[in-house]
Structure 1
Amino acid sequence: MSEEQKQQILKQTLWNIANDLRGNMDADDFRDYILGFIFYKYLSRKMKNYANVILDPDGLSYQTVENHEKAAELLEAIRFEALDKLGYFLKPSELFSELAKRGNSGNKNNFILGDLANVLNSIEQSTMGSESEDDFGNLFEDLDLTSSKLGKTEDAKNELIVKVLTHLEGIDFDVENTESDILGDAYEYLIGQFASGAGKKAGEFYTPQQVSKILAKLVTTNKTKLKSVYDPTCGSGSLLLRVSKEVQEVGEFFGQESNPTTYNLCRMNMIMHNVHYKQFDIYNEDTLVNPSPNHIDKRFEAIVANPPFSANWSASPLFMSDDRFSAYGKLAPKSKADFAFVQHMVHQLDDNGTMACVLPHGVLFRGAAEGHIRKFLIADKNYLDAVIGLPANIFYGTSIPTCILVLKKNRSCHSEGSMTEESQPKRSESILFIDASQHFEKVKTQNVLLEEHLDKIINTYRTYSSPLEGRLSGVLEDKYAYIATLNEVKENDYNLNIPRYVDTFEEEEPIDLAAVSKDLKALETDIKKTDTTIADFCKQLNIETPF
């Protein structure tokens, strides 16, 4: 069986379990339980495998070590090694398989809610004082085993949890396969499936996979390795992880998320994709108000983001003394924080970096403070590299059309092309506009980007960015892509509305008026013949004609 087939089976199996077991519970609530328990099983399997490697020279297995005469000594040695290697520690009796076996024993001792709560708390407590403490702290706080959503009685709650653990225990997660990320991708699939049914709330934690791919491919263009990638509104971490699939190596992952539940989901997602706890730093706070003290002085090689569209923020005058905003002279309006996120990201972007973010179309043309900030980014800094218009209705919970802005601090790294005439614009003196708004597939009520649509966007951008391409201005592809000079953008008063640059006008076929006149005359003759026939029928029936 191929890796792809295994992955599809695992995805569908996990999703079926989630649907079969949640009963009447809201999908958004059950998400936290099913994903949390999958994560617990993953941690248990990793712990067991690692401990067995340590014990193998002594001919011991981890599940029997608690009965060994030197159990305390052995467990302490394993704990010490596991905290550094894995970031956490679980005793053999705390493993997922042990609780699942106990819960499914069929006797009166199968009540496991209390033990399960203690184990989840023990995982977090095991990291106290260690380097991984921030990465595992409060990780399971959303798994409320006392919630009435699980059942009206303690027995009902226990019964549901035992069913979930039993079903999950019967699935092979293939954790031992270090060359595969089947489980991580299945976990990501589940997050996406829950997001698709979560309505407006989905936008808080998940970016559709195809949009994630576009952003990831944009920021990794012409790169095989990245020192760092950053997402200031990272949600479940899908964007950060997507970037890692486009290059051979990412040194470090950085992200910030204001929602505590989504923050926990992101950390779990990182670990499930085999990102070592020392390689990621996710922070739980409002990025605009309280940027991570560990991030704010760093500069990142790649930045991707899908910030909340037109969110409210304070726009306090105190921000004018903040290095992220002070140079612009104006703040984004209180009711639309879109450019505040852009300003924050530009501040965090390294000189050789690329950032790509999804924003509502309004950022392209709204005036006042937003127009001022837009002009500053283009005229004063020349950071804007490309504007990509996406179809409407591709995000969960909103049908508005969106766009992607690509910004680079050092745009001279573009090829200046093969043209040598002084009159020709340089690549760094132009901006690419792509109108992909009509390129999608309608699936039920949602518009979906297919691989062909994604590839067209990326290939167009990479053609523009290629050191081998000579076109520096004008139409790159008819009705789809246009390279505008900075002078053209200036003439449009820095309005970036895509139809100003990409002409999508479809000329109507010319009308042959002589043929139309001939058709009308023929129609009039036919009408007269029909009227005569009707009048004859009426006369035969001895009734009045209708005309």
Structure 2
Amino acid sequence: MTKDINFITKTKSLIDNLKNVCANYGLGNSASEFDIITQCFLYKTLNDKFRYEVKKITPELKNEESEKIIEYLKTLNEEDYKFLLASLDPNAPKLQIHQLIEVLFNRQTESDFALLFDDTLAEISNHNAEIFSVKSFSGAKDILFDRLSQNIKDVSQRDAFCTALVNKLIAVSFEEMFDQKYDFFATIFEYLIKDYNSDSGGKYAEYYTPHAVARIMAQIMVQTPVKGVKVYDPSAGSGTLLMSLAHQIGEENCTIYSEDISQKSSNMLRLNLVLNNLTHSIPNIIKTNTLAQPTYLDTKFDYIVSNPPFKLNFSDFHPDLDKDAFKKRFFAGIPKIPNKDKDKMAIYLLFIQHIMFSLSDTGKAAIVLPTGFVTAKNGIEKKIRERLITNGWLRGVVNMPSNIFATTGTNVSVLFLDKDADSEHIVLLDASKLGETVTEGKNQRTVLKPTEEQLIVDTLNNKLAVEDLSVVVTKKEIEAKNYSFSAGQYFEVKIEYVDITADEFATKMKTFESNLESLFADSEKLKTEIQNNLKGLKYE
């Protein structure tokens, strides 16, 4: 545990140091700072991942430092080096000796170091594009690295800027991280992206889902071992939900697919995949408008998780959705364009329908939704709920505590779908009273205790009715309640009866009568005072 805490502390320190470099060269809080931080972080990760993989296939280097490893690599001739690269894990980065951070560090006094730094990153991008590039809907691939020195307008400062970055990167090793699991790295990744979500405008989940929610969703969805499954998120953001689900399944047992309209989110997801031994899924990351230009429309998935944007103006591509090819997908309809407040269009309703359409024959899904969805009396919301009940796909609903998302005050619920659901034992759980409030910066957030997380998971997985927490209902009972998915509408009203004697009853009644007489007397007195005051005002 101490080792883990020390490593987290060191990594957070590196992130802070990179931010300081940006600030010292006039790029603090600039639009380019995020790209610089994440790309440097990615370069460092690929560098240390390469060294880690080399050690795995060369046991005699297991306990050697970087200098010894570089010395060894330099002894290899061209053919031997090619053989070494071919022997690495297929998902490992393929780097040349001169591309390693340690080599760059020793060349930082050379003239035009910024050019050397940029060229090195460009080479890595080109040589590893097949594995590490994110694709767009058109099929075009992005590049791993930009020419970072170009962010410095003063040409004379570029060498010093790149030198400062390399000096920060070489100061810490990430090798030990590759033996760790997702839950260990979650804190680091959240720290990395926390300062870069305030300007997102809420577009396509450019925020991270709380890890407690992600863990609950994963543990409810996956109760038994599975292999060779396809996992999908149509609004992936930074990938918190996907990582948690992959961790629950086993990274080697699943392939991840994702879509998201944001380049920033796609880059964060790519980094998350590298850090969590899911590099093999990077080619499946697609930057696209999932609703209007879906890449995976004809693909069916075994597990789907999503925390879609709730409200968003999609009026510009509204006509693209209302076409014959999408009629079956959007069976319940497309929200109309309002005359005002277009940014409040309920885009999440389209994502729910898209997810339902994308499930395999035995597919399971967990979706974060505004709680208002579970009780809406009509409209698209009710049509979707009706279809879920008619098809027998609803497994359960968890109403989460308010403010569990620090970035939104909207109350949320998690909808659990399963094409093999038990329609006689649907669990509706109200967790709104759980958790404790903590302050994070300017925001207040509700945090669940580990025992509370486990209570939610066990209650739903074991189909338990727990007093003041959950009910277990049937498909017919939900139909009788106008398809409401709210646990509160199914809780029994409890009336407590207390046995008392006739004398005790008479005493209580006398007390009530006395209290009422006193209240009436006070009321008459107040009435007289008001009337006198009004008369006084009348004659002034």
TM range (shorter): 0.7 to 0.9
1:259 corresponding residue in structure 2: 262
Asked whether the 8 Å contact 2:208–2:238 carries over to 1, the reply is: yes
* Structure 1: stretches of 5+ with no match in the other structure: 412-426, 465-470, 524-547
One-letter amino acid of the structure 2 residue matched with residue 448 of structure 1: V
One-letter amino acid of the structure 2 residue matched with residue 98 of structure 1: V
Q: Are the structure 2 counterparts of residues 433 and 34 from structure 1 closer, same or farther at C-alpha, using a change threshold of 3 Å?
A: same
Could you say what secondary structure the match of 1:245 adopts?
helix
Asked whether the 8 Å contact 1:200–1:397 carries over to 2, the reply is: no
Asked whether the 8 Å contact 1:394–1:448 carries over to 2, the reply is: yes
Out of 63, 70, 76, which is 1:63 matched to? 70
Q: Measure the CA separation in 2 of the matches of 1:208 and 1:79.
A: 38
| Residues 1:436 and 2:431 aligned together | yes
For residues 376-400 of structure 1, the C-alpha deviation after alignment (integer angstroms, 9 at most, x for no partner) is 2222x12111111112222243111
Asked whether the 8 Å contact 1:63–1:93 carries over to 2, the reply is: no
For residues 439-476 of structure 1, the C-alpha deviation after alignment (integer angstroms, 9 at most, x for no partner) is 12111122223323322211110121xxxxxx7xxxx1
Q: Which stretch has the larger CA shift, 283-292 or 479-488?
A: 479-488
| Residues 1:140 and 2:162 aligned together | no
- Give the TM-score normalised by structure 2: 0.77
Asked whether the 8 Å contact 2:397–2:413 carries over to 1, the reply is: yes
Alignment of 1:360-379 (within 5 A): 360-366=370-376, 367-379=378-390
1:450 corresponding residue in structure 2: 449
| Residues 1:89 and 2:88 aligned together | no
Q: Which stretch has the larger CA shift, 253-262 or 169-178?
A: 169-178
Asked whether the 8 Å contact 2:50–2:95 carries over to 1, the reply is: yes
Q: Measure the CA separation in 2 of the matches of 1:212 and 1:482.
A: 23
Deviation at 1:33, TM superposition (A): 2.2
Asked whether the 8 Å contact 1:39–1:268 carries over to 2, the reply is: yes
Q: Are the structure 2 counterparts of residues 318 and 209 from structure 1 closer, same or farther at C-alpha, using a change threshold of 3 Å?
A: closer
2:64 corresponding residue in structure 1: none
Deviation at 1:49, TM superposition (A): 4.5
Q: Measure the CA separation in 1 of the matches of 2:326 and 2:134.
A: 27
Q: Measure the CA separation in 1 of the matches of 2:266 and 2:452.
A: 31
Could you say what secondary structure the match of 1:339 adopts?
helix
One-letter amino acid of the structure 2 residue matched with residue 461 of structure 1: L
Alignment of 1:464-543 (within 5 A): 464=463, 476-502=465-491, 514-515=510-511
Q: Measure the CA separation in 2 of the matches of 1:306 and 1:141.
A: 28
Asked whether the 8 Å contact 1:188–1:238 carries over to 2, the reply is: no
For residues 153-211 of structure 1, the C-alpha deviation after alignment (integer angstroms, 9 at most, x for no partner) is 34445444433332231112234864666985464243454367768659414111111
- Give the TM-score normalised by structure 1: 0.76
Deviation at 1:296, TM superposition (A): 3.1
Q: Measure the CA separation in 1 of the matches of 2:12 and 2:493.
A: 41
Alignment of 1:64-463 (within 5 A): 64=71, 71-81=77-87, 85-86=90-91, 88-103=93-108, 107=109, 109=110, 112-127=113-128, 130=130, 137-141=141-145, 144-148=148-152, 153-175=154-176, 178=179, 184-185=185-186, 187-191=188-192, 193-194=194-195, 203-223=205-225, 225=227, 227-248=229-250, 249-277=252-280, 281-292=284-295, 295-313=296-314, 314-316=317-319, 319=322, 321-322=324-325, 325-326=328-329, 328=331, 330-334=333-337, 335-366=345-376, 367-379=378-390, 381-411=391-421, 427-444=422-439, 445-463=444-462
Q: Are the structure 2 counterparts of residues 55 and 451 from structure 1 closer, same or farther at C-alpha, using a change threshold of 3 Å?
A: closer
One-letter amino acid of the structure 1 residue matched with residue 371 of structure 2: H
Q: Measure the CA separation in 1 of the matches of 2:490 and 2:32.
A: 46
Aligned residues, how many?
A: 485
Alignment of 1:33-48 (within 5 A): 33-48=36-51
Deviation at 1:430, TM superposition (A): 4.3
One-letter amino acid of the structure 1 residue matched with residue 287 of structure 2: N
Q: Which stretch has the larger CA shift, 385-394 or 196-205?
A: 196-205
Deviation at 1:323, TM superposition (A): 5.8
Q: Are the structure 2 counterparts of residues 337 and 124 from structure 1 closer, same or farther at C-alpha, using a change threshold of 3 Å?
A: same
Asked whether the 8 Å contact 2:365–2:417 carries over to 1, the reply is: yes
Q: Are the structure 2 counterparts of residues 52 and 328 from structure 1 closer, same or farther at C-alpha, using a change threshold of 3 Å?
A: closer
Could you say what secondary structure the match of 2:352 adopts?
helix
Asked whether the 8 Å contact 2:385–2:483 carries over to 1, the reply is: yes
Q: Measure the CA separation in 2 of the matches of 1:331 and 1:481.
A: 32
**RMSD of aligned residue pairs (Cα, Å):** 4.0
Asked whether the 8 Å contact 2:178–2:277 carries over to 1, the reply is: no
One-letter amino acid of the structure 2 residue matched with residue 121 of structure 1: A
Q: Measure the CA separation in 1 of the matches of 2:220 and 2:392.
A: 18
Asked whether the 8 Å contact 1:55–1:61 carries over to 2, the reply is: no
Q: Are the structure 2 counterparts of residues 143 and 288 from structure 1 closer, same or farther at C-alpha, using a change threshold of 3 Å?
A: farther
One-letter amino acid of the structure 2 residue matched with residue 218 of structure 1: I
Asked whether the 8 Å contact 1:33–1:143 carries over to 2, the reply is: no
Deviation at 1:145, TM superposition (A): 3.1
Q: Measure the CA separation in 1 of the matches of 2:319 and 2:385.
A: 20
Q: Are the structure 2 counterparts of residues 512 and 35 from structure 1 closer, same or farther at C-alpha, using a change threshold of 3 Å?
A: farther
Asked whether the 8 Å contact 1:319–1:325 carries over to 2, the reply is: no
1:14 corresponding residue in structure 2: 14
* Structure 2: stretches of 5+ with no match in the other structure: 62-66, 338-344, 499-504, 520-540
One-letter amino acid of the structure 2 residue matched with residue 240 of structure 1: L
Q: Are the structure 2 counterparts of residues 457 and 21 from structure 1 closer, same or farther at C-alpha, using a change threshold of 3 Å?
A: farther
Could you say what secondary structure the match of 2:398 adopts?
strand
Q: Are the structure 2 counterparts of residues 428 and 42 from structure 1 closer, same or farther at C-alpha, using a change threshold of 3 Å?
A: same
Could you say what secondary structure the match of 1:336 adopts?
coil
Q: Are the structure 2 counterparts of residues 33 and 449 from structure 1 closer, same or farther at C-alpha, using a change threshold of 3 Å?
A: farther
One-letter amino acid of the structure 2 residue matched with residue 400 of structure 1: T
Deviation at 1:481, TM superposition (A): 0.7
Could you say what secondary structure the match of 1:404 adopts?
strand
Q: Are the structure 2 counterparts of residues 111 and 515 from structure 1 closer, same or farther at C-alpha, using a change threshold of 3 Å?
A: farther
Could you say what secondary structure the match of 2:107 adopts?
helix
Deviation at 1:93, TM superposition (A): 1.3
Asked whether the 8 Å contact 2:330–2:354 carries over to 1, the reply is: no
The share of aligned pairs that are identical, in percent, is 21
Asked whether the 8 Å contact 1:432–1:483 carries over to 2, the reply is: yes
Q: Are the structure 2 counterparts of residues 197 and 168 from structure 1 closer, same or farther at C-alpha, using a change threshold of 3 Å?
A: farther
Q: Measure the CA separation in 2 of the matches of 1:183 and 1:385.
A: 30
